[in-house]
Every structure is written in C-alpha cells, then in structure tokens.
Amino acid sequence: MSSATPESDLLLTPLNALHLELGARMVPFAGYSMPVQYEGLLAEHKQTRESASLFDVSHMGQIRISGPDAGLALESLMPMDVIGLGVDRQRYGLLLNDQGGIIDDLMFVNRGTHYFLIVNGACKAGDLQHMQERIGTRCTITPMPDQGLLALQGPQAAAALERLVPGVQELVFMTGAAFQWEGAELYITRSGYTGEDGFEISVPGERTEALARALLAQPEVKPAGLGARNSLRLEAGLGLYGNDLDTTTTPTEAVLGWSIQKVRRTGGDRAGGFPGAEVVLGQIDGQQPVTRKRIGLVGSGRTPIREPATLVNSAGEQIGVITSGLPSPTLSQPIAMGYIQPDYIQNGQEIFAQVRKQAIPVQLANMPFVAHNYKRAK
C-alpha cells in the first residue's frame, strides 16, 4: 500500500489539509501523501457497504484526448471499441505493450468533443509518455493535473449527491454527464472501484475541498481511505495494477477478455491494429498458449493469505502465486486473488498457499466474492 518515495518529495492532493484536519493516517502512495484510514479500515469498509463513503482519488491521472482522429488513434493503443462508444458513455480500457502485456488499465468516456481518460496514479507519467510517442502526432493529448477527483461510493451515494447536484440520479452504471455545483464545472460518471453503486467526480482543483466538505456534511457520508478502498475492490474481484496486473500480464491471463469488443477481435470490422494483437487475439482464439490465469481463492481457516505467497500442489510444487489477499470484512474469511496454471482450475486437485512455511488449504472461488451493486440500465 506504500511506496518508497521520501516523505519530503511526496505530492499533495487538493484535500491534504482536510485529511489532516479529519485525523487521517497518511501514507506514501503512487508518489503522493494519501489517507490510508480515518476511523479504521473495518468501520470505513462497513460504511461503504451500508451507506456512503467519500474517497480522495485525486492522485489518479486525468487526460483529455481530442482531434478528429482521436478515436482511431486511441484504438491503435487499446483493443477496445473506442469509436463505437456513444457520447457520455464510459468503458474500461487496457493500454498494451508490443508483447500484449498491460501497461495500465483505465476508464475512458466519450465526451462528444473529446475523450476523457482516468488512469492509475503510479502509471500516469509513463502513460502520457507512451501516448505522446505513439499517437502524439495524430491528436492532442492534454494532461489535467489541476483537476481533483472524488469517489462517492455506497448504496446511499446517489441520495447524498442528488441534494447537491440535482439530476445525477438519472445516470446509470458506466455513463456520465456534465453538471454544475455552485459555479464549478463537474463531470460525473456513475462508476467506481468498490463494487458498490457510486460516482466519480472530476472537479477543478481549487473547488475540490469545498465540494468534499459539502458531501461530508450529508448525513449518509463519511470519509474513507486507501485501506477500505483496497478491501472493497478485492471483495469485488477488481484487479489492482501493480499487484494483479502488470506489463507481463496479457488480457487473457488476467481474465479480462470480456473487455475486448467483437469489432476488435478476429473477424471483426476493425480486428487487431493494437500493440500485441498477434499474442492477444491468438490467446483468445486458442492459437497461442496461456500458461496462467487469474483466479479467486478463499482460505479454509482464519490465517490471512497475503501477497506474495506462492500456491503449491499436494506435492509441494509451485503452481501459482497470490497477488492480492486479505481477511474479507464482509465474509469474515480470508480471500485472495492470484494466478495459477490453467490445468488446476478445472481438475479439482488440492491447492495450498505457502504462508510462513505453512501450507494453508485454499479453494478456488468465483469472483466477485461479494456481488456487485451497480445501478444498471433497465
């Protein structure tokens, strides 16, 4: 959860003073000083599941890509259908390298006049450099470092936000729209990283604290930190870049093939044409080997199963690795995500996690561990 950046070199989000005022425990994360918890991880996790929590995610990168060729330019970097995405619709995306490995996972929205991207904080500088090198002559790439980003998550998020920004309740999962709040221009999507209903709010940096205070004044809302965000996303079966996804992982290995639309697959109108297409489409089509796959696991006892524990078979031979793991606050049992040799997914053989020289029995489990609670279109 922390990084090695010296404390004096850490960047601050627009909410830094508010975090300190609220008594947050701050940690280095993605080059920023970020709140890991306020009241405590378990309380904040429960608050998000039952009511609503406000997360500061201003460390993430916000990028505008514009120009008449912007959609096709983006398609040359990702195996997603970009130009077929409707206005104010959002989609999950993967930036790939030439071997089909994942450089970053991101969200992108068609704003009509441009595409709006939200990328991981630790990857944003590299993502921008990659985009400039690959498509910088085809479109205008504009980083938005002066924007704040808030995530309001939980079953009561819509009720709380609607009081401040009338009309947001009309949004459904993976859609967005422009709104105003006390003269500030906002762009709000109904999305998030917790598995709960919720919103991500792009707001001018100088208005971020005022909006956060207004949201925290709502009776349903309390602040939450990175600790709860991590336990919520793991229960939701959502991978964390740097842990569960990296430049050596392909979409098929990560079980993210669902994010690649038919039009970009073999036989589609715009098949291929993205970095690593031969490997990625070859794995989807069964023409290229897949030596590992991302899986969910639950522990049979109380011993937490954390990364980077190895997975072994009954003979003690390594067959995989844990990439994320913790005790689930909702399920009250250890849960984990990791990678395993595909043969072990179907054959029912015993699997063990090697934790401090102890072999802990684990069972494969479908993800999400806790059902998603998104508000989808009817």
Rg (CA), the chain: 21
pLDDT digits (tens, 9 = 90+) for 106-135: 999 999 999 999 999 999 999 999 999 999
Residue 2 is predicted with a pLDDT of 45
Q: Is residue 13 part of a domain?
A: yes
> Where among 235, 269, 288 does a domain terminate?
288
**Rounded distance, CA 77 to CA 264, Å?**
12
Token pair of 378, please? 């009817």
Are both 72 and 208 inside the same structural domain? Answer: no
Residues above pLDDT 90, as percent of the chain: 95
Mean pLDDT, residues 71-98 taken together: 98
Q: Is residue 249 part of a domain?
A: no
Q: Is residue 196 part of a domain?
A: yes
Are both 158 and 48 inside the same structural domain? Answer: yes
Smallest CA-to-CA distance from 374 within 235, 244, 193 is with 193
Q: Reduced to 3 DSSP states, what percent helix, strand and coil does the chain have, rounded to the nearest 5?
A: 25, 30, 45
pLDDT digits (tens, 9 = 90+) for 190-244: 999 999 999 999 999 999 999 999 999 999 999 999 999 999 999 999 999 999 9
Contact 164, 180 (CB under 8 A): no
Residue 5 is predicted with a pLDDT of 60
pLDDT band at 378 (very low <50, low <70, confident <90, very high): confident
Are both 167 and 281 inside the same structural domain? Answer: no
**CATH number of domain containing 35:** 3.30.1360.120
Are both 46 and 176 inside the same structural domain? Answer: yes
Are both 92 and 214 inside the same structural domain? Answer: no
Amino acid letter for position 293 = K
Contact 16, 207 (CB under 8 A): no
Q: Is residue 89 part of a domain?
A: yes
Are both 45 and 165 inside the same structural domain? Answer: yes
Residue 301 is predicted with a pLDDT of 87
**CATH number of domain containing 102:** 3.30.70.1400
Residue 38 is predicted with a pLDDT of 98
Residue 75: which domain range? Answer: 68-138+260-288
pLDDT band at 361 (very low <50, low <70, confident <90, very high): very high
pLDDT digits (tens, 9 = 90+) for 258-276: 999 999 999 999 999 999 9
**Rounded distance, CA 199 to CA 191, Å?**
5
The residue ranking higher by pLDDT, 152 or 4, is 152
pLDDT band at 4 (very low <50, low <70, confident <90, very high): low
> Where among 208, 224, 240 does a domain terminate?
224
pLDDT digits (tens, 9 = 90+) for 274-299: 999 999 999 999 999 999 999 999 99
Number of domains into which the chain is organized: 2
Are both 79 and 201 inside the same structural domain? Answer: no
Q: Is residue 51 part of a domain?
A: yes
- The torsion angles phi and psi of 2, rounded to 5 degrees, stand at -115, 170
pTM of the model: 0.96
Contact 192, 237 (CB under 8 A): no
pLDDT band at 16 (very low <50, low <70, confident <90, very high): very high
Distances (CA, A) of 8 to 14, 23, 28, 119, 264: 17, 20, 10, 25, 45
Q: Is residue 203 part of a domain?
A: yes
Contact 377, 173 (CB under 8 A): yes
Look at residue 346 and tell me whether its pLDDT is greater than 50.
Answer: yes
Mean pLDDT of all residues in the chain?
96
pLDDT band at 7 (very low <50, low <70, confident <90, very high): confident
Give the β-pairing of 61-66 and 114-119: antiparallel
Are both 72 and 219 inside the same structural domain? Answer: no
Are both 106 and 172 inside the same structural domain? Answer: no
- The torsion angles phi and psi of 274, rounded to 5 degrees, stand at -125, 160
Q: Is residue 361 part of a domain?
A: no
Token pair of 327, please? 């005790």
Contact 321, 339 (CB under 8 A): yes
